[in-house]
Chains A and B, each alone.
Chain A
Amino acid sequence: MSNVLTVEDLEYRCADPGFKLGPISLEIARGESIAIIGENQTGKSLLAKLLVGAIEPHGGRISLHCHDGKTGPRDQSIRMMFQFSSHALNPALSVAKILEEPLLRNTDMDKVSREQLIEETLLKVGLLREHAYHYRHMLSDGQQQRIALARAIILSPNVLVADEPFAALDPSIRSQTVNLLLKLQKEMGLSFVFISHNLGIVRHIADKILVMDKGQIIESGKTDTVFKWPQHDITKRLIMSHQSLVPQQTL
């Protein structure tokens, strides 16, 4: 497996002097799922935003590697899903227009092929092509989540970064979304970095886990290893609290 993303000594200093992110170094391999877990206010969302380039880091380097090993343009190879997908969709634009925007900015496709790709992407995320004419307020939460996903994958990125993609969804929609993501990951060879508080899902889909505390990665490793032999106190606490909620025989 080759790396698609290398992060070296990433640093970010907040206006609040008590908090500093990093230095963080990590590598993401092709087709890998990485979960970032940790308590609130530990810099998980900040790390996600730094990864996709929504915020400029104060130090360190993020390099993206395309299929041919070169460093590719950032907009196309790493895409983000926001924490609240309904806030990330423009209320005044139809779904077709929302999905057209990344294509307009990053590709030279003509109108016909753009429409075709939008249609294909909608079908890929389990919606109908009629949804292209809908506006945000006409869609349910699950559908909005799918539109946000469609927007993220329409440029065929290598890495998808998602900030709590499953947080505000009911259990059935949540498992639909999880399955959809796993399917897309298999089809497109996506690397998937996600933040989650739901350790059940993390255990189900993640290959690797990063545990964060106070802006640092305090523990990382294979999912099974971390779940079975947590090293750090905070990791132990998180996993204990998860296991106390789950009946023991399912573990």
Chain B
Amino acid sequence: MPRLNLYQEEFHPSPWQQTWLAFKASHIALAGLMVLASISLLALLAPVIAPHSPLLQNPDVLLLPPVWDPSGSLTYLLGTDALGRDIFSRLLYAARTTLITSVIVVVVAMLIGVTIGAIAGMLRGVSSSVVNHLLDSLMAIPTLLIAIVIVAIMGSGLVNSMWAITLALIPQFVHYTRNYVGEEMKKDYIRASQLDGSTKRQLFFYSILPNMLEMLVVQGTLALSIAVLDISALGFLNLGAHPPSVELGALLASSIDIAYLAPWNVMLPGLCIFFLVLSINIVGDGLRSAIRKRVKN
């Protein structure tokens, strides 16, 4: 079918485009997105941008202050730590580790959670409500606590902490997906698809999933901010990433002893976590209100 342009001046945005337009209208959300995008870009390009190796020690310049201090040096943009390692490079690599692991954790948790939630939502009766009540009670416990318990059982380390946070995040996705699918299954357009002869599987992938994507994006961003915080927290508690690998929480923990001597060592990773979580939350919130606006119209 050739695409005829009968109404040249008319603009018909798809639901996604509409969401983007509503999102763009909020300046705060847009600023949050820019901050998040620049942090992600810096973190992902860490091997290209970083001026030094994050592990390279220079005994000549221990605890060098950042460049804006009178005794700072341009070679070490944000100063050095107690072992003479470049803080700027370490920050980039640490943000890279934290961000990538968080994204992996959220994607895996989402895949598993949505699968279970969809199955539970399509089912009726006892099995569905057992899943529901079991997971609702799990959701009452903070994810960090569950993650610490799981790490305590499996042993510490970055990979183990990733597993722990994945497991702790799954109940949320199951809960939201189950409620959403259960709600949608009652609607007439699902009945119409059923009359077309769709199987349950086809119903989910063809009819419900396109509607659910936006909810998943919102829940995904919220889960991402939780994952960043939890991975940093486990790193800070020495339950996550171990020394040779750099990670934001671990970076913060290692410099806590010299907080009075060289405050920038603590401040900079802390600020990095703060901006990362803040921007993710602002983007998530902006998305949510954009979607609400679209649904209202």
Contacts and interface: CB of A to CB of B under 8 A. Distances in A.
Chains A and B belong together in one complex: yes
Interface of A: 52-54, 75, 79-80, 82-84, 87-94, 101-102, 105-106, 115-116, 118-119, 128-130, 132-135, 137-138, 151
Contact of B195 (A75, A91, A138): A75
B210 interface: yes
B131 to A, nearest CB: 24
Contact of A101 (B14, B188, B196): B196
A115 to B, nearest CB: 5
A217 B195 CA distance: 25
Contacts, number: 74
A129 B4 contact: yes
B210 A93 contact: yes
Contacts of A151: 192
B197 interface: yes
B12 A134 contact: yes
B1 interface: yes
Nearest to A134: B12
Contact of A138 (B12, B192, B211): B12
B198 A88 contact: no
Nearest to B193: A101
Contacts of B3: 133
B274 interface: no
A75 B196 contact: yes
Contacts of A52: 195
Given A54-B194, A151-B192, A87 B1 contact: no
B196 A106 contact: yes
Interface string B168-210: 0000000000000000000111011111111000100011001
A102 B189 CA distance: 12
Contact of B15 (A54, A87, A106, A135): A135
Nearest to B14: A135
A181 B107 CA distance: 49
Interface in B199-228: 202, 206-207, 210-211, 213
Contacts of B6: 128, 130
6 contacts: A52-B195, A75-B195, A105-B196, A105-B197, A130-B4, A130-B7
A84 B196 contact: no
Interface of B: 1, 3-4, 6-7, 12, 14-15, 187-189, 191-198, 202, 206-207, 210-211, 213, 297
Q: Which 6 A-B pairs have the closest CB atoms?
A: A92-B210, A87-B188, A105-B197, A92-B211, A88-B188, A102-B196
Given A79-B195, A88-B189, 16 more contacts: A87-B187, A87-B189, A88-B191, A90-B210, A91-B211, A92-B15, A93-B210, A101-B193, A101-B196, A101-B198, A101-B207, A105-B198, A116-B1, A129-B1, A130-B7, A151-B192
Contacts of A118: 1
A92 B205 CA distance: 12
A152 to B, nearest CB: 9
A137 B297 contact: yes
A97 to B, nearest CB: 8
Contacts of B12: 133-135, 138
B192 A82 contact: yes
B7 to A, nearest CB: 8
Contacts of A84: 188
B187 A54 contact: no
Contacts of A88: 188-189, 191-192
